[in-house]
Amino acid sequence: MLNYLKHLDVDFSWGDVDTKTCLPVFLTLLFFVLFWFTTQSPSLKSFFHKKTKHAHVSFFFFSKVFGFFCFGVFPLLFCLFFIPSMSFCDYGLIFIPKTALFSFFWILLLSIIVVPLAFYSAKKDKNLKNYPQIRANVWTKKTLFISLLGWFLYLLGYEFLFRGVLFFPLVSSIGVWPSIFINISLYSATHIPKGLDETLGAIPLGIVLCVLTLYSGTIWIAFFVHLAMAWTNNLTSLKYNTNITFQKNGRQQK
């Protein structure tokens, strides 16, 4: 058997191209698994409900901040260390004056398309069962602020992972189309817990966002469009969820 393997023409050498291709994929899988099983842990949820005064709000904000670090911070640190040829700006977290107008145009156009869709779907019963994610019966201005800030931080890390860490290194190593299809495969897979509609919808949206990210050189189109969808869903589900009341002047309640 060993003699047979010696005659196989297989090159197991490892180079920079392999690191740029494999490391982002591995980090995406690793930190998504870490985030998912941590935030879905019954023990952790029980801890928040026993130890914190406003359990729903506290656990929500912890989950979003933890997601920000799992998706946006930790993968970047690994990539900066193991892929020294790429700087911080090479991952798309940068402002490029030459593409600013292009980015603004597409953010506006896509938002005009996706916000009404998000508004319509947010009112459906199956959506109201899960959103808004803060399941407190009484909301205040502070609750609303924490909700919007949590989504902002989470999606900044989330889009930086998929449109930055998982995209730009792969484009430079294996080309555009293989990078896009690897990207949307993992991007769509992360939506499986949210149901078939979001899983399938993530495929065309993922392709569009990858192409626009490539042309703009930044993650901002993907981030702001996704944020517009999330905030619309959050505010709409808050308005139409009959189990939640909003107090302009009041304290948070469980």
- Cβ atoms of 138 and 56 within 8 Å: the answer is no
pLDDT at 9: 75
pLDDT at 228: 97
Query: What count of other Cβ atoms lies within 10 Å of the Cβ of residue 48?
Result: 17
pLDDT at 254: 42
3-state helix, strand, coil in the chain (%, to 5): 75, 0, 20
pLDDT at 31: 98
pLDDT at 159: 97
Determine the number of helices (DSSP H) and then strands (DSSP E) in the chain.
Answer: 12, 2
Q: Residue 148: in which H helix or E strand, if any?
A: helix 141-160
Q: Residue 178: in which H helix or E strand, if any?
A: helix 176-189
Strand partners, 245: 138
Segments making up each domain of the chain, as ranges: 19-246
Tokens matching residue 106: 């597409």
pLDDT at 165: 98
Query: How many residues are recorded in the chain?
Result: 254
pLDDT at 252: 46
pTM (global) more than 0.85:
yes
Tokens matching residue 147: 């909700």
Query: Which stretches of the chain drop beneath a pLDDT of 50?
Result: 252-254
